[in-house]
């Protein structure tokens, strides 16, 4: 008994049968012709069918078939009457799929044969002329490139939206002081705006990687046929142009066996997911009771079934968790492709699900993070309090010793370490040490040193290009809007 795809209802005009196994055999015989006399085993049909997931390619498949049909007519390979029938039939099929009335059949394996089979039901024998001068091998490569290209454009728009809300928050918090960390230890004062702009840069690089992938994939495989090209006088430049590609691919063997574009897409998605995960982790830490740096609203948090006080940052945790899923999709496809000889092998059917799952996951993660960044509220008082912990202005003290007293930095570093140890032993901050205590470590220290030991003075002084000074942040906010939005 064949496995039926029940995602869509039966289309009007489909031939009815009370015997699904006979229907499967009839469908198979229509496609494979005289070479096979029996229908595939039901298990073979199950493992071979990809229609359950590759039906997502229907719009790209119809677009590619439309361009191919028009080219065949223009080249005199297909007569105008048959071409018009095919084009009208394809248009009808697209409407059926969009309206949910198309009957996807496992017995027809994939989206390509499902559409071709339905076209035959609508227009008859001329449907078979559409496959002249092409193969499912170049057809699926073309469809897949078109789908990934469309998806890259959507991801770019989504990342641009995420950058926009990050930039807005950075501008609002250009002077909001917070501790900067290394090794998750308080290091130096920074501003929250400066911290957020770091992620703007990361996502800018992510967008660039996706665009590089898009540029490299934008060559059209259609017309490469099974692996060796075709003897028909086709015009591959015409179909490439019609489908928005820069040019046709140069080698027919490479055209049908190449999945570099899919690997690059998932590589870019994986790196983006890592950046989203890092930001998600920071939000989780910031929103913890122990840090209390920030707060998310009810829209992006959940409660506990047993602990009524809990506000769990589930959205951020799911972004962090889904990064593993996206990286897993990349590893899955790398593993599929690593040992395949030229040209096409059925293993390559396994390329779709990692792409579909990875693209869906990265889209959800970007949308969730955009919502969280727009929603987040920083606890300005707590951030300021935390900045004053951990001797975060110790580097400013060392710099003062170099700049004012002319000490070598390594000696200044040692003196500052002695002063930190002294303050730590007495449970005080650096600025709470007396001048006499400081001079006990380095006699030339003057009371001017206290002018640089505050967090505000520290961040204000960091005016080097790319530094955290509030005026820098505002300048970089403007620059980021010009570069990315």
Give yes or no for a contact between 270 and 359, defined as CB atoms under 8 angstroms apart: no
User: Is 183 a catalytic site residue?
Assistant: yes
* Largest interatomic CA distance in the chain: 101
Buried b / exposed e along 234-252 (16+ C-beta atoms within 10 A):
bbbebbbbbbebeebbeeb
**β-pair partners for 178:** 190
Q: What angle do CA 105, 144, 48 make, to 5 degrees?
A: 35
**β-pair partners for 190:** 178
CB neighbours (10 Å) of residue 297? 12
The residues, ordered by sequence, that sit 6+ positions from 222 with a Cβ below 8 Å of its Cβ are 64, 67, 68, 134, 138, 139, 142, 236, 239, 240, 243, 248
Q: Measured between alpha carbons, how far is 480 from 485 in angstroms, rounded to an integer?
A: 8
Q: What is residue 298's DSSP assignment?
A: G
User: Is 304 a catalytic site residue?
Assistant: yes
Integer angstrom CA distances of residue 266 from 53, 332, 360, 386, 453: 18, 10, 11, 39, 47
Catalytic pick from 10, 304, 345, 426?
304
Q: Quick one: tokens of 414?
A: 């040692």
Q: What angle do CA 59, 65, 67 make, to 5 degrees?
A: 105
Give yes or no for a contact between 350 and 144, defined as CB atoms under 8 angstroms apart: no
**β-pair partners for 247:** 219
**β-pair partners for 179:** 189
End-to-end Cα separation, the chain, in angstroms: 55
Q: Measured between alpha carbons, how far is 161 from 366 in angstroms, rounded to an integer?
A: 9
Q: Quick one: tokens of 219?
A: 């060559």
**Beta 185-191 vs 219-220: how paired, if at all?**
unpaired
Give yes or no for a contact between 97 and 43, defined as CB atoms under 8 angstroms apart: no
- Whether omega before 257 lies within 30 degrees of 0, making that bond cis, reads no
Catalytic pick from 37, 183, 231, 305?
183
**Catalytic residue positions?**
183, 304
């Amino acid at each position: 008994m064949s496995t039926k795809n029940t995602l869509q209802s039966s289309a009007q005009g489909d031939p009815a049968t009370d015997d699904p196994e006979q229907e499967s055999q009839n469908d198979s015989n229509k496609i494979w012709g005289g070479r096979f006399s029996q229908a595939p085993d039901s298990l073979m049909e199950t493992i071979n069918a990809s229609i359950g997931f590759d039906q997502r390619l229907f719009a790209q498949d119809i677009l590619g078939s439309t361009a191919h049909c028009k080219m065949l007519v223009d080249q005199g390979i297909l007569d105008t009457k048959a071409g018009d029938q095919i084009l009208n039939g394809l248009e009808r099929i697209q409407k059926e799929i969009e309206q949910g009335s198309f009957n996807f059949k496992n017995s027809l394996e994939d989206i390509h044969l499902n559409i071709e089979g339905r076209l035959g039901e609508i227009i008859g024998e001329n449907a078979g002329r559409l496959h002249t001068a092409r193969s499912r091998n170049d057809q699926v490569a073309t469809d897949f490139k078109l789908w990934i290209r469309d998806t890259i454009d959507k991801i770019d728009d989504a990342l641009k939206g995420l950058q926009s809300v990050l930039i807005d928050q950075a501008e609002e918090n250009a002077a909001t002081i917070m501790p900067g960390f290394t090794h998750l230890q308080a290091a130096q004062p920074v501003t929250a705006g400066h911290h957020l702009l770091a992620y703007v840069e990361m996502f800018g690089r992510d967008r660039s990687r996706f665009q590089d992938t898009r540029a490299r994939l934008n060559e059209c495989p259609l017309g490469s046929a099974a692996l060796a090209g075709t003897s028909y006088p086709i015009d591959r430049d015409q179909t490439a142009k019609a489908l928005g590609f820069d040019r046709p691919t140069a080698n027919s063997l490479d055209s049908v066996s190449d999945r570099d574009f899919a690997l690059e897409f998932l590589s870019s998605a994986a790196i983006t997911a890592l950046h989203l995960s890092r930001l998600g982790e920071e939000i989780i830490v910031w929103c913890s009771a122990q840090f209390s740096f920030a707060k998310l609203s009810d829209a992006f948090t959940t409660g506990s079934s047993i602990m009524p006080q809990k506000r769990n940052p589930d959205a951020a945790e799911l972004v962090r968790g889904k990064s593993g899923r996206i990286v897993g999709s990349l590893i899955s496809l790398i593993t599929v492709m690593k040992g395949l000889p030229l040209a096409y092998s059925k293993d390559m059917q396994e390329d779709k699900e990692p792409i579909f799952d990875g693209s869906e996951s990265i889209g959800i993660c970007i949308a969730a993070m955009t919502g969280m960044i727009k929603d987040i509220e920083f606890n300005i008082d707590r951030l300021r309090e935390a900045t004053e912990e951990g001797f975060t202005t110790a580097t400013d003290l060392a710099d003062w010793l170099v700049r004012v007293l002319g000490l070598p930095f390594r000696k200044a570093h040692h003196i500052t370490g002695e002063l930190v140890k002294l303050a730590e032993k007495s449970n005080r901050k650096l600025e709470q040490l007396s001048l006499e205590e400081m001079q006990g470590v380095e006699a030339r220290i003057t009371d001017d040193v206290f002018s640089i030991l505050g967090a505000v003075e520290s961040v204000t002084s960091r005016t080097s290009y790319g530094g955290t000074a509030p005026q820098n942040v505002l300048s970089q906010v403007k620059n980021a809007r010009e570069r990315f939005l």
